[in-house]
Amino acid sequence: MKQNFGKLYLLPTTISDGDWQNTIPQYVRDKSINLQHFVVEDVRTARRYLRRIGSTQDFDSMDFFILNKHTQAMDIPSFIEPCLKGNDMGLLSEAGVPCVADPGNEVVKVARRKGIQVIPMVGPSSIIMALMASGFNGQNFAFIGYLPIDKFARAKHLKQLEDRINREDQTQIFIEAPYRNQKLFDEMLSKLSPQIKLCIAREISGKNELIEVHSIQEWKKTRKPEIQKQNTIFLLYK
Amino acid sequence: MKQNFGKLYLLPTTISDGDWQNTIPQYVRDKSINLQHFVVEDVRTARRYLRRIGSTQDFDSMDFFILNKHTQAMDIPSFIEPCLKGNDMGLLSEAGVPCVADPGNEVVKVARRKGIQVIPMVGPSSIIMALMASGFNGQNFAFIGYLPIDKFARAKHLKQLEDRINREDQTQIFIEAPYRNQKLFDEMLSKLSPQIKLCIAREISGKNELIEVHSIQEWKKTRKPEIQKQNTIFLLYK
């Protein structure tokens, strides 16, 4: 590591409406409110979060580089210039830990190529928290992001997940665009084997937290969970 | 959820010699030092951790149920009796988050069957922190625990991981018994394709933290990382 470079801190944010003290360590909060240079997904929510955890800085004098689906790959190397000039930087996720289920790793790749030290910090990960609370196998698990949108490709993928659960004893974890949660739930009930277990984890760490586990055949008999347009993570296991 | 049951809190612990404030949220610490009933992997280290974060309780008056590889499956249901009697309980990992890369999920399964509310809390996960800092794909990844010990089975498994990386774009994460770390490293250098990238993350969040990423052919040219008998996590990606 070149000593004259700044460090890149990977800073998790809250994932719910609860107090930040519930899910963000003091040290991570202190580091977050004292940095001057950030890579963020959205400037408005990043500033709102920094105020919420106690920042009193003048945001107009600070750097906020925007990394989202509209960002051009060729622009990313310029984001880490503050580090190259000796300033510490923060990479802030929109919700939860950065570089997991978001494009933050593109910034880390560029920083690593330049020899900048990258420091991961602790905060809430809905993937890990849902896995913990599911009772499913936590010694072998996969997070696969989104399922295919196409109906036939999706049905095939669900069967492939079942195969991995049964043959490899691997818990399968995935997410969906919140407005399609209900549709995904219905498809799982119609496509998966009756004995497969489905864990639904909604609004983890928030006032509206719900974490429920049933087999597919049990889910068919219970009341539908209220997950439409709510942050939800899905886990399958045997 | 039955209102008269206690709750089961899944309580992460520190994974390094750093200050607990670096990696444990205040709320999780406060909850940990105020519970009277615990499931732990090892009583001695659990008590030492509780003292370290500020517990002043009389441990002799408290319940510590032991869950480790010697625990009989038939004994686990009795661990949650304090919850059934209306007391909150804590499930403490030996290091990091419980129920991930440890057998804690067996307690969660029993608790769920009884209708006890299970509450996951935030703390350090070396899997997630290593993934964040690697720059590897965090939108599709698998943690597979330990590789097979048998030489031929292990070589075959490494090739299977390469296949998943290339065909499914999935980051592969695994661990090894610390005294076998060096041997695993040497095997990866001899068995994996030259262009595959290997991230080695040692003692995350500690004074001795090292997180380094190189391709297999680059690792062959650099100095061997000092990982023997040290907590290390391995990640592969393209």
**Cα B109 to Cα A94: distance, rounded to the nearest angstrom:** 32
Q: What is the pLDDT of residues A35-89, one digit of tens each?
A: 999 999 999 999 999 999 999 999 999 999 999 989 999 999 999 999 999 999 9
Is the ipTM higher than 0.85? The answer is: yes
Q: Is the pLDDT of residue B39 over 90?
A: yes
**Cα A201 to Cα A199: distance, rounded to the nearest angstrom:** 6
For chain B, say whether A142 makes contact (Cβ under 8 Å): yes
Task: Indicate the residue of B99, B131, B170 with minimum beta-carbon distance to A131.
Answer: B99
Angle formed by the axes of helices B105-114 and A126-134, to 10°?
A: 70
Q: What CA–CA distances, in Å, run from A113 to A43, A107, B214?
A: 26, 10, 10
pLDDT at A2: 53
Nearest CA in chain B to A13: B122
Q: With b meaning 16 or more CB within 10 Å and e meaning fewer, what string describes A69-95?
A: eebeeeebbebbebbbeebbbbbbbbb
> Is A118's CB within 8 Å of B142's CB?
no
DSSP state of A54: T
Largest Cα–Cα distance in chain A? Answer: 62
pLDDT at B2: 53
> Is B25's CB within 8 Å of A27's CB?
no
DSSP state of B75: G
Q: Which of A14, A76, A99 to mutate to test the interface with B (most CBs of B within 10 A)?
A: A99
For chain B, say whether A124 makes contact (Cβ under 8 Å): yes
**Percentages (nearest 5) of helix, strand, coil residues in chain A:** 40, 20, 40
> Is B135's CB within 8 Å of A170's CB?
no
In degrees and rounded to multiples of 5, residue A146 shows phi and psi of -95, 145
For chain A, say whether B123 makes contact (Cβ under 8 Å): yes
> Is B132's CB within 8 Å of A26's CB?
no
> Is B204's CB within 8 Å of A125's CB?
no
CA distance B61 to chain A (A): 28
List, edge to edge, every strand of the sheet that includes A232-237: A210-215, A197-202, A232-237, A171-175, A141-146, B141-146, B171-175, B232-237, B197-202, B210-215
**Cα B232 to Cα B224: distance, rounded to the nearest angstrom:** 14
Q: What is the pLDDT of residues B154-204, one digit of tens each?
A: 999 999 999 999 999 999 999 999 999 999 999 999 999 999 999 999 999
Task: Indicate the residue of B26, B98, B105 with minimum beta-carbon distance to A136.
Answer: B105
Q: Which of B105, B134, B214 to mutate to test the interface with A (most CBs of A within 10 A)?
A: B105
Chain A CB contacts of B25 under 8 Å are 21-26
For chain B, say whether A179 makes contact (Cβ under 8 Å): no
**Cα A114 to Cα A78: distance, rounded to the nearest angstrom:** 12
Mean pLDDT of chain B: 96
Chain A CB contacts of B99 under 8 Å are 131-133, 135, 138
Chain B CB contacts of A130 under 8 Å are 120
Geometric angle at alpha carbon B12, from B11 and B14, rounded to 5°: 140
pLDDT bucket at B18, cuts 50 / 70 / 90: confident
Nearest CA in chain B to A106: B135
3-state secondary structure of A124: coil
pLDDT at A17: 87
**Cross-strand pairs, B234:** B174, B200
What are the structural domains, with CATH classification, of chain A? 8-120 (3.40.1010.10), 126-237 (3.30.950.10)
Q: What is the pLDDT of residues B54-93, one digit of tens each?
A: 999 999 999 999 999 899 999 999 999 999 999 999 999 9
**Cα A200 to Cα A126: distance, rounded to the nearest angstrom:** 11
> Is A127's CB within 8 Å of B122's CB?
no
Which residues of chain A have a pLDDT value below 50?
none
pLDDT at B17: 87
Mean pLDDT of chain A: 96
**Cα B40 to Cα B58: distance, rounded to the nearest angstrom:** 17
